[in-house]
Amino acid sequence: MRKPALSDDILMRVEKPARYIGNEVNSVVKDKEQVAIRFAMCFPDVYEIGMSHLGIQIIYSMLNEWEDVWCERVYSPWVDLDEIMRKRHIPLFGLESQEPVKDMDFLGITIQYEMCYTNILQILDLAQIPLSAKERGEDMPIVIGGGPCAYNPEPIAEFFDLFYIGEGETQYRPLFDWYLENRAAGGTRLDFLRGAAKIPGIYVPQFYEELYREDGTILGRKKLYEDLPDTITKELVMDVTSAPYPLKPVVPFIKVTQDRVVLEIQRGCIRGCRFCQAGQLYRPVRERDADKLKEYAAAMLESTGHEEISLSSLSSSDYTQLNELLDFMIGDCGRKHVNISLPSLRIDAFSLDVMSKVQDVKKSSLTFAPEAGSQRLRDVINKGLTEEVILKGAALAFEGGWTRVKLYFMLGLPTETEEDVRGIGDLSNKIAATFFDTVPKEKRVNGKVQIVTSTSFFIPKPFTPFQWAAMCTKEEFIDKAYQTKQGIMEQLNQKSIKYNWHEADVSVLEGVFARGDRRVAKVILEAYKRGCLFDSWSEYFHNDVWLSCFADCGPDIGFYTTRERAEDEIFPWDFIDCGVTKEFLLREWKKAQAQAVSPNCKEQCQGCGASRFGVGVCHERKTGNHL
């Protein structure tokens, strides 16, 4: 019988106590005496967000399939419980056993977003694990980082024992086998890390040193041991159809951000948008077989009782078996009164036909992502959308009964001009006008159309063609948002357009973390010590504290954000091989500056380097089997 980590009086004092009690449907409880390895899988944000993340569900399910491993879940305690745990010295615990994380063998932290970095320190601190990897003793868990932010691990390198670079299904078994072998032989923590550093995809930062030039740029890297790899190549699942998948995902007690079954239909994207990091990191495109997905859908709906299923990918329209899968699901899910959601669709007749099959048009809105207000700038970012296609798609949507459209744009893209910014209002207005031109008065059920135009601020990310680009200052971002608002207010259909924009302060800080090096770590640590936590939550983000930490700790914000990089500059992440080459990214950077468009992967191979894996769309092109 397990003992709850929190007493009833504590649970009664915190918001949503169900975040901390475990015992949800499909959660896995094992006899700790019967397992050889205990693994805490952490999402460093609040339970509702972490429980919505498919990656954790995949790793949780896979590890718990192994008899000798028990994987538990850990999330960031909300601020109310955080305060109580510190006052009462309650160590952070796993939901399944309710036992301290510090007593487990591994703590794995998925890092999905740069603004969770202080939450990582919260997790370590509450777990009573030293924040610096070099200060951890033999009895402390091995702290592993993974996820997209691990592709530039340097700003948080000192807090992790190792990073797992790439997709998590491939190397955990070899890593655990080496851990057990080292432990049986009486090896030390250092012995384990030295051996782990030779496993493909594993990076142990304390065995490497960054060297800097006088101007602050990177001179190179120094290895502490000669037998360590110079390059860490990402791990890739070669056959996604046969890869582990959570057929019994944990069902939360409370409503979470994505309260539905998630069916991942493919990995990667053929489109090559130059701002998009995920589109590069997850190359090449690999599809799951539709027949297997049908089995998964039936099993997951049965095991969870969910009433909605979402087809997940970076570009669902490009999944070649989408019609076959949807025809099955519409019949099967329709009988069970289960809704189907389809994010990441493009603006075209095929996608709208698909949407009309699965959505109740009276309740839904359509989401379009033109990203830029002018055709010139859409060509710069290689979006692959023309105004004609956008307006035609909008017309088809309105004819189909949709009256609410969400539009997503970015401000501050490379080469952007005032005319490009004003184009956001122009395009929003044209889409609104398309509604009035397309739908006769007698068929306008709600009277008018609602266009919700949202802008985020462009942040150059590693492993994109824009990793060389300069980023705007906070003041420039705010000015661009003001120009956008003014442009919308000048439109004929302004009353049909609502405008939202992102916070500039957060974007600037995210830009620092995205392209930062090891010198940024001391700022993150100092900000955490001064109370920064849940920085991605606007009510808890304290920009003044962050600015004072940068001022006191030395690194200049502009060095990481507003400075355009030289073509031959060494980046903090250059030792990682993400599958696409730096030469390809540089070619795309130059094409962006020339406003030249690159075809998508199925139309013409661009020689990005991902073909070396010999799988997915790259393999299909070589064998002539692509559709």
Q: What is the pLDDT of residue 352?
A: 73
Closest CA to 44 of 545, 533, 540: 533
Other C-beta atoms within 10 Å of 441: how many?
7
* pLDDT greater than 60 at residue 438: yes
Instruction: Return the higher-pLDDT residue of 402 and 38.
Output: 38
Rounded Cα–Cα distance for residues 585 and 529 (Å): 38
Q: How confident is the model at residue 62 (pLDDT cuts 50, 70, 90)?
A: very high
Q: What is the pLDDT of residue 349?
A: 65
Q: What is the pLDDT of residue 623?
A: 61
Structure confidence by residue, pLDDT tens digits, 356-398? 777 654 456 788 899 999 999 999 999 988 999 999 988 988 8
* pLDDT greater than 70 at residue 478: yes
Instruction: Return the higher-pLDDT residue of 63 and 396.
Output: 63
Q: How far is CA 38 from the centre of its chain?
A: 26
Output b/e per residue, 2-25; b: 16+ Cβ within 10 A.
Answer: eeebbeeebbeebebbebbebebe
Q: How far is CA 466 from the centre of its chain?
A: 18
Q: How confident is the model at residue 220 (pLDDT cuts 50, 70, 90)?
A: very high
Share of the chain above pLDDT 90, in %: 85
What would the mean pLDDT of 569-589 be, rounded to a whole number?
A: 98
Rounded Cα–Cα distance for residues 621 and 508 (Å): 40
Q: Which neighbouring-strand residues pair with 25?
A: 251
Strands (E), 449-599: 450-457, 497-501, 576-577
Q: Is the peptide bond before 414 cis (omega within 30 degrees of 0)?
A: no
Inter-residue contact 7 to 14 (CB < 8 Å): no
Q: What is the pLDDT of residue 364?
A: 62
Which CA distances in Å does 558 have to 31, 70, 210, 407, 511? 52, 45, 20, 30, 10
DSSP β-ladder status, 450-457 and 497-501: parallel
Q: What is the pLDDT of residue 441?
A: 85
Q: What is the pLDDT of residue 357?
A: 75
Other C-beta atoms within 10 Å of 432: how many?
24
Q: What is the pLDDT of residue 333?
A: 79
Q: What is the pLDDT of residue 622?
A: 64
Structure confidence by residue, pLDDT tens digits, 293-322? 999 999 999 999 999 999 999 998 899 999
Structure confidence by residue, pLDDT tens digits, 482-492? 999 999 999 99
Structure confidence by residue, pLDDT tens digits, 84-134? 999 999 999 999 999 999 999 999 999 999 999 999 999 999 999 999 999
Rounded Cα–Cα distance for residues 347 and 393 (Å): 5
* pLDDT greater than 80 at residue 82: yes
Phi, psi values for residue 261, rounded to 5°:
-75, 135
Q: What is the pLDDT of residue 535?
A: 97
Q: What is the pLDDT of residue 358?
A: 74
What would the mean pLDDT of 11-23 be, rounded to a whole number?
A: 97
Q: What is the pLDDT of residue 361?
A: 47
Q: What is the pLDDT of residue 626?
A: 44
Q: What is the pLDDT of residue 554?
A: 81
Q: What is the pLDDT of residue 587?
A: 98
Q: What is the pLDDT of residue 446?
A: 67
Rounded Cα–Cα distance for residues 328 and 334 (Å): 10
